[in-house]
Structure 1
């Protein structure tokens, strides 16, 4: 840690990773307990699908929020937290997909493929997952070195397409109660717009 780092920065840096681990892991045992205790309503599998998907989207949007925070604070070490949140989003997405394939369809691949190809919102959700796979596989420092900074950055711009697809998937899946999808979509739109404006400003500077 830099000797000239502020007290606030030292405090945040010391506690942020344990706090993120707690935030990422805490919902899982709670959801499992609610499922086992039959506390997820009349359609527990559908509810579990929605909740795991929501956590995946929250962490994906949170990973996008790290970069503007880095610009404001100048804390370069936040890059590691961005990768951590991205991996958390991927893990929750895997959990969401597992509920869908195992608990909802019981590995009936023929019906799963039919569902993915016939329902556009399922197609969008699957597309978001597939876009996140190469991002998760190249999230290590070693992958960054092997790809080189420029190629790694271009590859990881897929996250913008993934978050758009995920927001549309969520909104379409919910259908009626659109407050949460609108909030998530609006936040993602702001975070993407901030990037576009910064890049445009850099070109004109």
Structure 2
């Protein structure tokens, strides 16, 4: 308990901008590695993978914030917006590397989106993230009111689609993508008891 309280006090003192900077730094480092031969014989594919994996990690990190507060009394809620926006940052970079460095041909890009299910799913996740990123500001919260919270529940679908994109992208039976999918499912399942209690309470009130 003492360690938890000390961590919460420390988290309250950490400026949010530090989280943005710390989470942004791996991307240019990977670009540097790719340009200097540090990502192996297929640097573009490796760069796509690293950026996509960071995006998935951050989506999962965002999902852990509510269960940590609910079940462990660890409060890092102030960093949720930063984590979500940085997940969008990595998804966007992942997409740009695929568009600009990998495929390059516009007609081929559309053909891949239509014909390859894992790309279709990845693009669907990106499209869902657009309104979430656009409304991740105080003005939108005030303007949308309760609708803002409903809109941002799309994060759950984004996380599922992101994990599914990784599973389908993997060649053969690999445990890592399945592990991430399982983690996403567990984190979403942890929200169910609380959601069920709120539903029952509303019904009783009605």
For Structure 1 versus Structure 2, the TM-score category normalised by the shorter chain is 0.7 to 0.9
Please point out which of 157, 162, 173 is paired with 2:158.
162
Q: Which segment is superposed worse, 63-72 or 92-101?
A: 63-72
Deviations 1:21-66 (A, max 9, x none): 3541231232122111112122111111111100011111111111
CA distance in 2, matches of 1:16, 1:179: 36
Is the counterpart of residue 69 in structure 1 residue 68 in structure 2? yes
Please point out which of 84, 97, 101 is paired with 1:86.
84
CA distance in 2, matches of 1:157, 1:170: 21
CA distance in 1, matches of 2:150, 2:138: 16
Q: Aligned residue for 1:13?
A: 12
Consecutive unaligned residues of structure 1, counting only runs of 5 or more, are: 1-5
CA distance in 1, matches of 2:173, 2:189: 25
**How high is the TM-score relative to the length of structure 2?**
0.87
**How high is the TM-score relative to the length of structure 1?**
0.88
CA distance in 1, matches of 2:163, 2:68: 22
Q: CA deviation at 1:83?
A: 1.0
Please point out which of 111, 115, 122 is paired with 2:112.
115
1:67·1:82 contact (CA, 8 Å) conserved in 2? Answer: no
CA distance in 2, matches of 1:15, 1:177: 41
Please point out which of 182, 185, 189 is paired with 1:186.
182
Consecutive unaligned residues of structure 2, counting only runs of 5 or more, are: 202-206
Once the two structures are superposed, the pairs formed by residues 1-205 of structure 1 within 5 Å of their partners are: 7-15=6-14, 17=16, 20-71=19-70, 72-73=72-73, 75=75, 78-106=76-104, 108-148=105-145, 150-176=146-172, 178-204=174-200
Tell me how large the CA RMSD over aligned residues is: 1.9
CA distance in 2, matches of 1:96, 1:38: 19
Q: CA deviation at 1:67?
A: 1.4
Q: Per the alignment, do residues 177 and 41 of structure 1 end up closer, same or farther by CA in structure 2, a change over 3 Å counting?
A: farther
